[in-house]
C-alpha cells in the first residue's frame, strides 16, 4: 500500500468525489470555494466550474450535467454553459439549514443529508430526491448528515451524523426508496472522531474518512475495524474508488484556515491510496 499526494489544486474543503466510469473522470468539489472540479487522470486535464453558493455534494445526471446540493436545495449544473438553476428546493426553507453530503442510489435517486449551519442543533436530516424532482424525508434530528452509501445488495443504507460521531445503518427498500430500522453501525469516537465521506467496496466493506483523526477506516459489514490507514493530513474528508479497475482510493482533505487555524503541511491536498487489493463499485447517475 502507498499514499501519494496528487498534483491537483489545494482545496479549502475538498469533498464529494464521484468517479464516472463512462467518462473515466473524477469529479469533486470545494465546499467553501464554491467550485466543482473534473479531473481526467489519463490526460491530466483539470477543469473547474464556479457555483453560486456553498456546495455540499454533487452527482452526475443521466441526461447530462450534474445536480448540486447547494444551501437551499438541489440545483442543476450545465457543464457547457456553467449555468445553474433550481431543481428542487427545501420546503419550508430554513436559513439555519444547508444541504450536505449526497450520493445516488442504484434506482437513480439522489439521497442527501442536511445540517444545521453551525452543526450545533439537531435540525438536519436525510432526504431523497426522486426522478420526479420531489424531495422526500427519510430521517430527522441530525446535527450534520454525511457519507451516504449502500451495501452491494442495496439492502442497507449507511449514513453518519458527523457531530454525534456515529455512523448509522438503515434497512433500505430500493424499489420504494424508503429507509427504516435505524441502528448504530459504528462509533468513531476512538478515531478522531468525525465520520465524514464514505464509500463501499465490492466486498461490502466501508471506507470512511475520519476528519480530525487523520485516518481512513476500513469497516466490515459487521462494523469491525479491518484497518486504519494513517493519512498525511489530520483532516481527510471523503473517499472514492476510481481508475480503470476501480482499485485506487481518492481522498480529498480540508485546509483548516477557514476555522482560523494554521494548516499543517498536508492539509487541503488530494491523495490517492494504491495497493489496497480491493475494488469499488460504479457510481450511478441521477435519473431525473
- Active centre residues (catalytic): 196
d(C-alpha 286, C-alpha 61), whole Å: 5
- 72 close to 91: Cβ distance less than 8 angstroms: no
- 201 close to 207: Cβ distance less than 8 angstroms: yes
Q: If we measure between CA atoms, which residue out of 6, 138, 112 comes closest to residue 59?
A: 112
- 188 close to 166: Cβ distance less than 8 angstroms: yes
d(C-alpha 68, C-alpha 53), whole Å: 10
Give all strands of the β-sheet with 25-30 in edge-to-edge order: 14-20, 25-30, 35-39, 46-50
d(C-alpha 72, C-alpha 26), whole Å: 25
Amino acid at each position: 500500500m502507498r499514499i501519494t499526494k496528487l498534483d491537483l489544486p489545494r482545496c479549502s474543503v475538498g469533498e464529494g468525489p464521484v468517479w464516472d466510469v463512462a467518462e473515466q473522470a473524477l469529479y469533486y468539489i470545494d465546499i467553501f470555494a464554491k467550485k466543482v472540479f473534473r479531473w481526467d487522470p489519463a490526460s491530466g486535464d483539470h477543469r473547474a466550474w464556479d457555483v453560486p453558493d456553498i456546495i455540499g455534494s454533487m452527482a452526475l445526471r443521466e441526461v447530462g450535467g450534474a445536480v448540486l446540493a447547494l444551501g437551499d436545495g438541489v440545483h442543476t449544473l450545465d457543464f457547457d454553459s456553467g449555468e445553474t438553476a433550481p431543481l428542487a428546493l427545501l420546503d419550508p426553507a430554513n436559513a439555519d439549514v444547508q444541504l450536505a453530503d449526497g450520493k445516488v442510489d442504484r434506482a437513480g435517486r439522489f439521497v442527501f443529508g442536511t445540517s444545521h449551519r453551525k452543526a450545533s442543533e439537531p435540525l438536519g436530516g436525510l432526504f431523497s430526491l426522486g426522478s420526479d424532482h420531489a424531495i422526500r424525508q427519510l430521517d430527522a434530528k441530525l446535527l450534520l448528515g454525511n457519507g451516504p452509501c449502500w451495501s452491494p445488495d442495496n439492502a442497507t443504507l449507511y449514513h453518519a451524523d458527523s457531530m454525534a460521531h456515529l455512523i448509522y445503518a438503515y434497512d433500505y427498500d430500493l424499489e420504494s426508496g424508503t429507509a427504516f430500522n435505524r441502528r448504530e453501525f459504528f462509533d468513531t469516537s476512538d478515531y478522531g472522531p468525525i465520520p465524514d465521506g464514505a464509500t463501499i467496496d465490492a466486498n461490502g466493506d466501508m471506507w470512511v474518512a475520519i476528519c480530525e483523526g487523520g485516518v481512513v477506516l476500513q469497516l466490515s459489514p459487521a462494523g469491525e475495524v479491518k484497518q486504519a490507514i494513517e493519512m498525511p493530513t489530520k483532516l481527510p474528508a471523503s473517499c472514492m474508488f476510481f481508475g480503470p479497475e476501480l482499485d485506487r482510493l481518492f481522498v480529498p482533505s480540508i485546509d483548516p484556515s477557514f476555522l482560523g487555524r494554521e494548516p499543517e503541511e498536508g492539509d487541503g491536498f488530494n491523495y490517492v491510496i494504491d495497493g489496497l487489493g480491493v475494488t469499488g463499485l460504479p457510481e450511478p447517475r441521477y435519473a431525473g
